[in-house]
Structure 1
Amino acid sequence: MEAPAVLAEIELPTPATGLKAWARVGFACIGFVHLVLGGLATMAALGVRGSNTPNQQEVFQTIQHMPLGQLLLWLVAAGLLGYVAWRLAQAFLDTESKGTTVLGMAVRGFYCFSGLLYGLLAYYAGKMAWYGHLPRSSEASRSALQNLLHRPHGQTVVGIIGLVLLSASGIQLFRAWSGKFDTDVNSRPFTSLQRRLVYHMGQVGYSARGVVLGIMGYFCFMAAQHANGTEIRDTEGCFNALQAMGPHVLGVVALGLVIYGLYMLVQARFPILRGL
C-alpha cells in the first residue's frame, strides 16, 4: 500500500524542468566561449599573439584543439541552443512577465534578438564540429551584410541592425550600472563578500559586452549611412578598433569579457529561472 505514496513523491521530469536544465548548460557554454574569446584578446593586448586580434573562427579552433575538442564543440553548439530556447521562451511565453506595453514588447524583442545572435553562434560551432573548419568570421559576416546592403531597402535594413546593436549595447550598460542583472543569480548560498564579488563581476562583464556591441553597432550604422560595406566590423574588427586606441584599452575590455565568462559560469551554477 506504500508504493503509490512513494511514487507520488517522485518528481517526474517535465518540459519546464528540461528547459531550465538546458538553459543552465547554455549559460555555462556562453561563459566558456567568453573565457576563450577574452583570453585570446588579452594575449593580443599583451603582445603574446603579436598584434593579431581573435576572430570567431579562432575561438572555435582554440576549443577544437583542446583535449576532447571535437566533443567540446558539439557540447557548445548544443548548450547554446539551450540558451536560445530559453531566450525564445522569455520572448514568446513572457516568462519574465514584461507584458504587452511598448516597453515590455521592446524588452521581449531584445530577448528574441539575443536568442537569434546566439543561435547563429550555435550554428557556427556545430558547423565547425561537423566540417572541422569555418570561413573566416570577417568574410562570412561582412559578405552577408554587404550583400544585404546592396539589395533594395538594404541600407535601411542594415541601419536598423546597427541601431538594434546600439540599443543592445545601451541595455547591457544599463543592466550593468543599474544592477538589474543581479536578479538572475541566486545569491542566497553566498557570503556577503561573495555576493559583492559576483555583483561586481556582473557589472564589469556586462559593461565589456556593452562596449563591444556598441562599437559593432556604430560601424554597422555608419556603413548603412555611407552605403559602404567595408565599414562593417565583426568581433575582430571591434577588437582592432579598441587596439587602435591603445593596447591597454583592448586589455581592459578583454579582461572584462573574461570576467563575464566567469560570471556566466556562476549563473549556470546558481541561476534564477522564472516563469516555468
Structure 2
Amino acid sequence: MTDVSSYVPSPSPRWVENFAKFGLTAKGIVYCLVGAIAFMAAFELGGQSTQSAGRSNIFKTIQDMPAGNILLGLVAAGLICYTLWRFIQAVKDTEGKGSNAKGTAMRLRYMFSGIIYGSLAFLAVRMVLGNSSGSGSDSRQTLTAKLLEQPFGQWLVGIVATGTVIAGLYQIYYGYSEKYQKEVQGSGLKHDVEHRMIRAGKLGYIARGIVWIVIGYLFLQAALKSSAKEAGGSTEAFQFLENTSYGSFILGAVALGLICYGIFMFMRAKYQPIHSR
C-alpha cells in the first residue's frame, strides 16, 4: 500500500526557514537603502551622490548611522544566512529543479547568487572589524585587470560582460512575465495586497535587470579597450545612467524600482514558503 505521506512536502527545519527569512530581510534592507540613496543622488537631495549608492558602498552609510557597527553586523549576519540558504537551494535542490539542463542552470544561478552575496557579507564583516573601507569598484577592476593579463584576456572579460548582460535581460524577462509571483502566491493575502506585491516585484526585477545590463556594458567596454578602469559595479552603473539624456529621471526611476525590489524581499521573507528538500 502506497504511503500517501511520502507525497506531502515535509516542513522545513526551523533553522533553514529562519536563515532564509533573515537573509531575505537583510537583502531587502540593502536594496531599499541603495534605491533611496540613488534616488536622492539623481535629484541632488541631501548631498548624496551616486558614489554612495553602490551595494558595497551602502555599508558605509549603515556604519555611519547611530549604533552603525551593530546594524552593519546584523546586515552582515543576514547576508551570511542568505548565502547559506542559496547554497542549500543549489546543492540539495530544495526547489525541485532537477538535474536536466534547465534545472542545472537554475541551481547554478542559486550558487552564483550565494557567491555574490557571500562576497558582500565578507566585505560587511571586514568593515565591522575595521579592515575595509567598503569600496567595491576597485575589486571589480582588479578582477578585470587579472583577467586581461591572461591568454585571451579580452575574450574572458567579454564572456563576463556577455554573461552579465544575459543575466540582466533574464531579470527583465522574469519581472515582466511575472514568473516570480509563485514565490508569494497562495499566502492567503487579500487579492489587492497580493496584486501590489506582484507589481512591486515586477518593477524591482526590471530595475535590477537594467543595472545588470549597464554593468555588463561597462565590462564590455573594458574588454574592447583592454582597460580595467572601464569596468565597474552598481556605483558606475548609476553614474552611467545619470550621465545619459534625462539622466536624473532615468536614474530616479531605476532607484524607485530598486526600492520596490527591496520591499518585495520583505514580502518574500514574510510570505514565501521555504523548502528544505
Q: Same fold (TM over 0.5)?
A: yes
Secondary structure of the residue aligned to 1:131 is coil
Q: Is the 8 A contact 1:44 1:52 kept in 2?
A: yes
Gaps of 5+ in 2: 1-10
* Aligned equivalent of 2:237: 238
Answer with 125-134 or 144-153: which moved more. 144-153
The answer to whether 1:179 aligns with 2:200 is no
TM-score for both structures, normalised by structure 2? 0.88
What aligned pairs does 1:27-176 form with structure 2 within 5 A after superposition? Answer: 27-49=24-46, 52-53=49-50, 54-131=53-130, 133-134=132-133, 136-176=135-175
Q: Is the 8 A contact 1:142 1:234 kept in 2?
A: no
The answer to whether 1:208 aligns with 2:207 is yes
2: CA distance between counterparts of 1:128 and 1:56? Answer: 14
Q: 1:104 to 1:225 in 2, by over 3 A?
A: farther
1: CA distance between counterparts of 2:214 and 2:91? Answer: 29
Answer with 204-213 or 166-175: which moved more. 166-175
Q: What do residues 181-230 of structure 1 show as CA deviations (whole Å, max 9, x unaligned)?
A: 11112553311110110010000011111111111112213322332212
By how many angstroms is 1:111 displaced?
A: 1.2
Report percent identity of matched pairs: 34
What aligned pairs does 1:187-266 form with structure 2 within 5 A after superposition? Answer: 187-245=186-244, 246-266=247-267
Gaps of 5+ in 1: 1-13
* Alignment RMSD: 2.0
1: CA distance between counterparts of 2:124 and 2:97? Answer: 32
1: CA distance between counterparts of 2:62 and 2:68? Answer: 6
How many residue pairs end up in the alignment?
263
1: CA distance between counterparts of 2:28 and 2:21? Answer: 11
* Aligned equivalent of 1:16: 13
* Aligned equivalent of 1:272: 273
Q: Is the 8 A contact 1:57 1:134 kept in 2?
A: no
Q: Is the 8 A contact 2:12 2:275 kept in 1?
A: no
Answer with 220-229 or 41-50: which moved more. 220-229
1: CA distance between counterparts of 2:12 and 2:271? Answer: 20
By how many angstroms is 1:136 displaced?
A: 2.7
Q: Is the 8 A contact 2:56 2:120 kept in 1?
A: no
1: CA distance between counterparts of 2:189 and 2:55? Answer: 35
Q: 1:51 to 1:122 in 2, by over 3 A?
A: closer
Q: What do residues 43-66 of structure 1 show as CA deviations (whole Å, max 9, x unaligned)?
A: 011111557202345411111122
2: CA distance between counterparts of 1:146 and 1:239? Answer: 22
Letter of the aligned partner of 1:269 in structure 2? K
2: CA distance between counterparts of 1:275 and 1:170? Answer: 29
Secondary structure of the residue aligned to 1:189 is coil
Q: Is the 8 A contact 2:123 2:134 kept in 1?
A: no
